Structure 1
């Protein structure tokens, strides 16, 4: 895959994420997908394999009434795509950390996407 094909795959993934279309997200993912969420330098969530990631994605989609990732910048670095993301979401449920249904989350972050056999095999979200 060339850099532009990888970037297009990431754009399709973000579009599916924004529309809560878990099935379209998973069409783009390798069976051995590794996902990590890194917040303040610490890994707070990690899944290995498509089944673990699907469970997390479905649970996460139920937590929000709306969500949108906006790509601010996208670049190919070595075999990965790095994306600067502006994220906004509205909670649909109360969370244990004190956030309530209806609260708005906003953050700027970065995501790294790795590839294997023509599919996304790594997603690391940094915030």
Structure 2
């Protein structure tokens, strides 16, 4: 896939994510989407397929009253696009780890996107 098309698709995905627009996110995904979230070097969330992704997206949406990913860098390799990002979120409810509703979370991370049939087929988030 053309790097500019990959970049455009990922930017649309991030806009939909920031807007809590799950349908907009799903529209960009391959039906066999694979999603993995890596935290501190290990996978803490993994889904396969649109339905599982939708479920985790709905669950994540309910955790935040505000969230914003800001892309600060891009790199391309073969059929993959990696973005470096700054993340900010405000919790909508208390978490088991002691973080309370209304608290702001800020972190840096990266996401790697792979593509198939002009759709996003793999998303790997690292924080």
Shared topology, TM-score over 0.5?
yes
Q: Secondary structure at the match of 2:57?
A: helix
Q: CA deviation at 1:76?
A: 1.4
How far does residue 97 in structure 1 lie from its aligned partner after superposition? Answer: 1.3
In the alignment, which residue of structure 1 is the partner of 2:32?
32
Q: TM-score, normalised by structure 2?
A: 0.98
CA RMSD of aligned residues (A): 0.6
Q: Which runs of 4+ in 1 moved over 2 A?
A: none
1:77, distance to aligned residue in structure 2 (A):
1.3
Give the match for residue 16 of structure 2.
Answer: 16
Deviations 1:35-69 (A, max 9, x none): 00001110111011110010000110111000000
Other-structure match for 1:111: 111
Equivalent residue number for residue 91 of structure 2? 91
Where in structure 2 are the equivalents of 1:44-83 lying within 5 Å?
Answer: 44-83=44-83
Unpaired runs of 5+ in structure 2?
none
* Inter-partner Cα distance in structure 2 for 1:75 and 1:42: 23
Paired residues in the alignment total: 127
| Match in the other structure for 2:101 | 101
Q: Which moved more, 1:72-81 or 1:86-95?
A: 72-81
User: Match of 1:7?
Assistant: 7
1:122 equivalenced with 2:122 (yes/no):
yes
